[in-house]
């Protein structure tokens, strides 16, 4: 199998490529990535000299670059995206360009070239749940609240429309919140771990009683591989690990694991339109794909804290000048 992976220098894409080349030694991977602030060549440094891996710098919204990259490939897995809710609140345009226009360009290329497309989406397209609501299923209506989630929902609808209208072979995956090695420290878990290690304040939005369902990135990656190999054309699969946690409990556990001062935890002004709860019903993926997450949240979080403690060089380089400017702009006025 010759695979085109887009956004493979990001958090989940890099973990997916590493998993694929480990589990499917006869496969090869071309990685098309624009190398935005979130795309980091250091995430796949270990594959630099692997002949099965080829990196191409390019934009999924650029039809010429995509047509060239897809040449000779049997399937495409699309991870390329603007992925952070807070940045989408600051400026939505890059989200529409990459997540919507970029997906459309990929769809046109797949339509022309053939082969399967796995489009990696998110549970955030379903909007928010109340405390007693049942978890999201694949039939839950789309009701996104953030510009990020709205751009992902728009892309999902385009993928489904191309599957129906043009008969392309596409599968959509919608996963809950990921955590693990190489996650950019703008998201809750790596931000809290790295700040705790540095003795910096730990900014919890509002009362911290929002709920997220957490999955280790390698469990998500194995689900995407299962969808690629065994997914039904036109199907949507939810991935989750039935690990709902309050944000505040996650932050306090990180403080404990790092051995930081609990006084660093600080409640700050809430994110606008902050979704209160996400929860996923993964039974369709379990049944049809034979997929199951392999790690519990407790062991995965411990392992992740250790990874960040052991890889300070990686995240110190990532928390560079542009990161500091983002941090100041977003968190500066929140206390
Ligand atoms: P990320 O922000 O870490 O990485 C995104 C990657 O896409 C980067 O390497 C970036 O350089 C690349 N990219 C951005 N714009 C591009 C463009 N126009 N052309 C080519 N490459 C481009 O994101 P992530 O956390 O790895 O998320 C990957 C996918 O998984 C996204 O589609 C996201 O919506 C989805 N997802 C993420 C989570 C999560 O918890 N992180 C959960 C569910 C679904
Ligand atoms: P995040 O990692 O941004 O993922 P998402 O918003 O896509 O779920 O945030 C996870 C949860 O943590 C979410 O409820 C917002 C909250 N949060 C904080 O309380 N403080 C922070 O600094 C960040 C980044 C997130």
Q: What's the rounded mean pLDDT across residues 311-333? A: 97
Catalytic residue among 33, 59, 82, 123: 123
**Closest Cα to atom 10, ligand 2: which residue?**
188
Distances (CA, A) of 120 to 150, 153, 194, 262: 15, 11, 27, 36
Contacts for 46 with CB less than 8 Å, ≥ 6 apart: 18
Query: For 228-233, which contacts have Cβ atoms below 8 Å and span 24 or more sequence positions?
Result: 228/3, 228/75, 228/77, 228/116, 228/118, 228/171, 230/288, 230/289, 230/290, 231/118, 231/171, 231/288, 231/289, 232/171, 232/288, 233/116, 233/163, 233/169, 233/170, 233/171
Pocket of ligand 1 (CB under 6 A): 6-7, 9-13, 33-36, 38-39, 59-61, 79-81, 83, 98, 102, 120, 122, 152, 175, 177-178, 184
The predicted-structure confidence for 30-42, as pLDDT tens digits, reads as follows 999 999 999 999 9
The number of the ligand 1 atom at minimal distance from the alpha carbon of 12 is 26
In sequence order, the β-bridge partners of residue 277 are: 211
Measured in Å, residue 306 CA sits from the centre of ligand 2 at 21
Catalytic residue among 124, 156, 213, 244: 124
Instruction: Categorize the per-residue pLDDT at 106 as very low, low, confident or very high, splitting at 50, 70 and 90.
Output: very high
Tell me the percentage of the chain whose pLDDT exceeds 90: 99
H or E stretch at 170: strand 169-175
The predicted-structure confidence for 147-163, as pLDDT tens digits, reads as follows 999 999 999 999 999 99
The predicted-structure confidence for 133-144, as pLDDT tens digits, reads as follows 999 999 999 999
Q: Which of 151, 152, 146, 100 is nearest to 127 (CA)?
A: 146
Tell which one of 38, 187, 275 to mutate to probe ligand 2, the residue whose CB is within 8 A of the most ligand atoms: 187
Q: Which of 154, 156, 271 is nearest to 212 (CA)?
A: 271
Q: What is the pLDDT of residue 101?
A: 98
Distances (CA, A) of 307 to 183, 262, 296, 304: 11, 21, 16, 5
Tell which one of 125, 188, 248 to mutate to probe ligand 2, the residue whose CB is within 8 A of the most ligand atoms: 188
**Closest Cα to atom 5, ligand 2: which residue?**
85
């Amino acid at each position: 199998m010759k695979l085109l992976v887009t956004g493979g220098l990001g958090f989940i894409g890099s973990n997916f490529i590493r998993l694929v080349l480990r589990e499917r030694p006869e496969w090869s991977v071309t990685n098309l990535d624009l190398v935005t602030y979130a795309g980091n060549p250091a995430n796949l440094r270990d594959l630099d000299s692997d002949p099965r891996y080829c990196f191409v710098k390019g934009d999924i919204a650029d039809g010429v670059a995509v047509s060239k990259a897809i040449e000779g490939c049997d399937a495409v897995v699309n991870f390329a995206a603007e992925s952070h809710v807070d940045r989408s609140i600051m400026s939505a345009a890059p989200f529409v360009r990459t997540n919507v226009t970029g997906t459309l360009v990929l769809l046109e290329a797949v339509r022309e070239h053939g082969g399967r497309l796995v489009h990696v989406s998110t549970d955030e397209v379903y909007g928010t749940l109340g405390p007693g609501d049942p978890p999201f299923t694949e039939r839950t209506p789309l009701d996104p609240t953030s510009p990020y989630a709205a751009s992902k929902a728009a892309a999902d609808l385009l993928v489904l429309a191309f599957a129906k209208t043009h008969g392309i072979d596409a599968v959509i995956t919608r996963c809950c919140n990921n955590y693990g090695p190489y996650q950019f420290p703008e998201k809750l878990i790596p931000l809290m771990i790295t700040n705790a290690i540095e003795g910096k304040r730990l900014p919890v939005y509002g009362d911290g009683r929002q709920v997220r369902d957490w999955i280790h990135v390698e469990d998500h990656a194995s689900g995407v591989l299962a969808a690629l190999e065994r997914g039904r054309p036109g199907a949507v699969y939810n991935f989750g690990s039935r690990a709902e946690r309050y944000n505040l409990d996650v932050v306090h556990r990180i403080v404990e694991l790092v051995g930081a001062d609990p006084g660093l935890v600080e409640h700050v002004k809430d994110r606008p339109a902050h979704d209160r709860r996400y929860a996923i019903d993964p039974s369709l993926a379990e049944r049809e794909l034979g997929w199951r997450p392999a790690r519990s949240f407790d062991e995965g979080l411990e392992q992740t804290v250790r990874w960040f403690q052991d890889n300070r060089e990686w995240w110190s380089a990532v928390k560079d000048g542009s990161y500091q400017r983002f941090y100041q702009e977003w968190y500066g006025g929140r206390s």
